[in-house]
Amino acid sequence: MRTPCAAPPLDPERFRPDFPILGRMVHEGVPLVYLDNAATSQRPRQVIEAMTDAYERHYANVHRGIHTLSAEIDELYEGAREKVRAFINAPRDASNDDNPATTQEVIFTSGATHSINLVARSWGDANVRPGDEILVTEMEHHSNLVPWYQLAQRTGAVVRHIPLTDDGLLQLDSLDRLLTKRTRLVAVSAVSNVLGTINPVREIIRRAHDAGAVVLVDAAQSAPHQPTDVQAMDCDFLAFSGHKMLGPSGVGVLYGKRDLLEAMPPFMGGGGMISEVTLEGFRPLYLPGKFEAGTPPIVPAVALSAAIDYLGAVGLEAIAAHERLLTQRTHEVLESVGGLRIIGPAPEHKAGIVSFVFASGRPSGHDVAQFLDRYGIAVRTGHHCTMPLHKRFGVSATVRASFYLYNTLAEVDKLGEALAAAKRAPFSAFLSAARSE
Amino acid sequence: MAIDEFEAQERIQEYYEEPYHRGRCPHCTHTHEDNNPLCGDVIRLELQIDERGTLKEVYFNGDGCCISQAAASMLVEKFDGALVEDVKRFTAQDMLELFGLRLTPNRQKCCLLSWRVLQTAIYSPVQSNGSLPILPATKEAAR
C-alpha cells in the first residue's frame, strides 16, 4: 500500500524566469523582492501571452454575434468558465447550443468585492428581514464586512462578529452562542489577509447549516494558494479574484449553489442578462448570464484560464507546502531580529502571510516599509482593509510579507537582514528614505 | 547634504522624539481624526476654540510614521494660540514648507495628514458623547 506523502518540494527558481517583472531592478541595481502577493500577485508570461493572443487574434464581444471571431471568443470565454469550474470542483452540467456554459454555478464578476456585493444585494435583499442576524468574523476584510453592514442598514438586520483569540484564531466555541435561529447568513474568509490564519471553514459551514444559515466563503486569499473544493466544503457561495492568482485584475468569480442562484433576482440590469424586454418590463436570462449584465471581463477571464493552467501545472498542494516553508522561515528570521511582534498564529495555522510590527511602535510600519523598499523589498503596510482586526490587536498599522510560488528562502533571509538594519538605523535613515531628490 | 537640510532633519527628529502638545486637550471644543488609508497613519487633533475664534489650546495624538507624527507636532505648535482665520489661510503648500524637507509625493500625504485634520477640526464641534460621526452598521445603532 502506498503511504500518503507530502507533495515534493517546489523549486521556485524553476518558475521565476516565467515572471518577467521578477527580473527587474529597483533603485539602480537592487533586485526586486516581491513580498506583496496578498495585495496582488505577479503574472507569468503565459498569462500575459494569453491576453495578447486573445486581443490579437480572437477578440470580439461574447454571446452577441454569429461571425467567426464571435464564435471563437465565446469558446474561449466559456472555456474559461469550465476551467474555473474544474478549479473549484463545482458540478458540471451539459452545455447546449442555447446555453454554452458547462456550469450554471460559476459567475464571472469584476473581483471578489463585486461577488460579495452581488450576494449581499441580490440574495440579501430578498431573504433578510428586520431582526435577522448576519454572522461575520472580526478578521474579515472590509469587502466582507461593509456589504453586510449596508445590507443591515437596508433591512434592519443585525451584524454579529465571531471573536478572535489573542493568537488570531477564531473563537469557535462562541458559535454555540452566536449561531441562532435568527442567523440567516455566515460570511467568513478561508484565509485571513493579515493574520494568515487558515480558518476551519468546513466545520463552520457544517454548524451554520445545522442552524439553518447560508454560508459565503471569501476565498480571495485561499483559492490562489491551496486546493478549493466547493462540493467537499459544501459552501453556498464562494468568492475570489483573478489578480491574486496570477491572473489579470478586473476578473473575479462568484460560485453559488444552483438552487440559491435560481431563486435570486438579478443584481445589475442591462444587456447580456436579458431574455426579453418589453415596454412593460423584462424577463432575465437563465444562469449564469442572469448575473453577467453588460460586457463581461472577456479577456481577463480568458487569461484567468491560463493562470489556472499554470497553477495546475505547478500544483496547488506543492504551492501550499512551499508557502508553509517560507512562513516557517519568516517566523524564525523575525524572531532572530528581535523586538518584533508577529500579529497572528503560529506557522502551523497559517498560509503564506506574516504581519508584524516593532513591539516598541518605532519604527512605524510606514517607516519600515519605506526602509525595506530601499532594499528592493516590496511589502504592504497599513491596515490592509481590516480596521476592526487592527483595533482588536491594538495597532493602527502592520507590515505584511506575503508569499507565492516564486518566492525563495533567500528572499526571506533578505527581509530579515533588512529588518535588522532597520532596527539599528538612525532616525535620519527613515527621513532620507522619504526625501525627494 | 547641505547644512540647512541637516538642520531640518535635526529639527524634525526633535519634534518626533519630544513632541509638542501630544495628548488630550483638557477643555476640548472641536476635534477631528483621520487616517492615511495608504499606510494607516492616524492623527487626532483636539482644539479649544473660544468665542472670538482663538485656538486657545491645540493638542494632537496619533500613531504612524516619523513624518506624520513630527509634522503634526510642528503644526500644533504653530497654531497654538492662533486664530481660526489663520488656519483657513494656511495652505497645503505652507504645510510642506513648514515641514522643511522635500518629500516624495507619497510621503507628502503623511506630512499633510495633520493639516487636513486641522482644516476639518475647526468645523467639527465635539459631539455630546465625544465620539466621531460614523455610519452605523445597523439601523438600531443609528437611533
Among B7, B135, B138, the residue to mutate for chain A (most A Cβ within 10 A): B138
A291 is in which domain, residue-wise? 52-312
SS3 A137: strand
With cut-offs at 50, 70 and 90, classify the pLDDT of residue A93: confident
Among A370, A398, A400, the residue to mutate for chain B (most B Cβ within 10 A): A370
The reply to whether A56 and A18 lie within a common domain is no
Q: Which of A277, A312, A347 is the last residue of a domain?
A: A312
The model's pLDDT over B54-72, given as tens digits with 9 standing for 90+, comes to 999 999 999 999 999 999 9
* CATH number, span B20-131: 3.90.1010.10
The reply to whether A141 and A289 lie within a common domain is yes
d(CA A199, CA A140): 11
On chain A, the residues whose CB falls within 8 A of the CB of B37 are 382-383
Query: Which domain CATH number covers A268?
Result: 3.40.640.10
- What's the grid cell of residue A234? 459544501
Q: Select from B83, B76, B79, B78 the least CA-distant residue to B60.
A: B76
User: Which residues contact residue A362 at a Cβ distance below 8 angstroms, ignoring those fewer than 6 apart?
Assistant: none
* Contact A361/B at CB under 8 A: yes
The reply to whether A131 and A24 lie within a common domain is no
User: Given an 8 Å threshold on Cβ–Cβ distance, is B37 in contact with A382?
Assistant: yes
Give the chain A residue nearest B7 (alpha carbons): A428
Give the chain B residue nearest A387 (alpha carbons): B40
* Contact B137/A at CB under 8 A: yes
With cut-offs at 50, 70 and 90, classify the pLDDT of residue A94: confident
Give me the amino acid identity at B30: H
* Contact A26/B at CB under 8 A: no
The reply to whether A283 and A333 lie within a common domain is no
Sign, Cα dihedral of A225, A230, A233, A238: positive
Query: Which domain CATH number covers A409?
Result: 3.90.1150.10
pLDDT at residue B131, as a whole number: 56
Give the rounded distance of the alpha carbon of A326 from its chain centre: 19
Which residues partner with B42 through β-bridges? B35, B63
Which residues partner with A158 through β-bridges? A133
- What's the grid cell of residue A196? 494568515
Give the chain A residue nearest B9 (alpha carbons): A428
* Contact B43/A at CB under 8 A: no
Contact present, A132 and A157 (Cβ < 8 Å): yes
d(CA A137, CA B68): 31
Ranges assigned E (strand) in A245-339: 252-256, 274-277, 282-284
User: Given an 8 Å threshold on Cβ–Cβ distance, is A366 in contact with B110?
Assistant: yes
pLDDT over 50 at A303, yes or no: yes
pLDDT at residue A154, as a whole number: 97
d(CA A327, CA A372): 18
The reply to whether A97 and A227 lie within a common domain is yes
Give me the amino acid identity at A338: G
The answer to whether the bond into A363 is cis (omega within 30° of 0) is yes
- What's the grid cell of residue B33? 481624526
Q: Which of A261, A292, A312 is the last residue of a domain?
A: A312
Looking at CA atoms only, how far is residue B39 from chain A in angstroms? 4
Among B66, B99, B104, B112, the residue to mutate for chain A (most A Cβ within 10 A): B66
For chain A, what's the residue count?
Answer: 437
The reply to whether A291 and A391 lie within a common domain is no
With cut-offs at 50, 70 and 90, classify the pLDDT of residue A63: confident
In a domain, A37, yes or no: no
The reply to whether A127 and A160 lie within a common domain is yes
Among A362, A396, A400, the residue to mutate for chain B (most B Cβ within 10 A): A396
Give the chain A residue nearest B110 (alpha carbons): A366
d(CA B122, CA A324): 50
For chain B, what's the residue count?
Answer: 143
The reply to whether A324 and A395 lie within a common domain is yes
With cut-offs at 50, 70 and 90, classify the pLDDT of residue B143: very low
* Contact A149/B at CB under 8 A: yes
The reply to whether A58 and A138 lie within a common domain is yes
Active site residue A385: yes
Interface confidence: ipTM more than 0.95: no
Of A361, A390, A434, the CB nearest to B107: A434
d(CA A430, CA A371): 6
* Contact B63/A at CB under 8 A: yes
- What's the grid cell of residue A95? 452545455
pLDDT at residue A2, as a whole number: 46
User: A235 vs A199, A204, A258, A404, CA distance in Å?
Assistant: 14, 10, 12, 25
* Contact B96/A at CB under 8 A: no
User: Which residues contact residue A255 at a Cβ distance below 8 angstroms, ignoring those fewer than 6 apart?
Assistant: A88, A90, A105, A106, A107, A230, A235, A237, A238, A239
On chain A, the residues whose CB falls within 8 A of the CB of B63 are 361, 364, 395-397
Q: How many domains in chain A?
A: 2
For β-strands A252-256 and B30-35, DSSP reports them as: unpaired
SS3 letters across B89-118? HCCHHHHHHHHCCCECHHHHHHHHHHHHHH
d(CA A137, CA A389): 9
Query: A263: buried, middle or exposed (CB in 10 Å: 19+, 13-18, 0-12)?
Result: exposed
The reply to whether A278 and A403 lie within a common domain is no
Contact present, A109 and A122 (Cβ < 8 Å): no
Mean pLDDT across A71-100: 90
pLDDT over 60 at B141, yes or no: no
pLDDT at residue A296, as a whole number: 96
Catalytic residue among A274, A385, A420, A429: A385
Residue pairs between chains A and B whose CB atoms are closer than 8 Å: 101
* Contact A266/B at CB under 8 A: no
On chain B, the residues whose CB falls within 8 A of the CB of A39 are none
In a domain, A6, yes or no: no
The reply to whether A18 and A69 lie within a common domain is no
d(CA A29, CA A200): 44
The reply to whether A385 and A430 lie within a common domain is yes
SS3 content of chain B, % helix, strand, coil (to 5): 45, 20, 35
- What's the grid cell of residue A317? 498542494
Q: Which of A257, A289, A312 is the last residue of a domain?
A: A312
Contact present, A344 and A38 (Cβ < 8 Å): no
User: Which residues contact residue A51 at a Cβ distance below 8 angstroms, ignoring those fewer than 6 apart?
Assistant: A248, A299, A300, A302, A303
With cut-offs at 50, 70 and 90, classify the pLDDT of residue A95: confident
d(CA A72, CA A139): 43
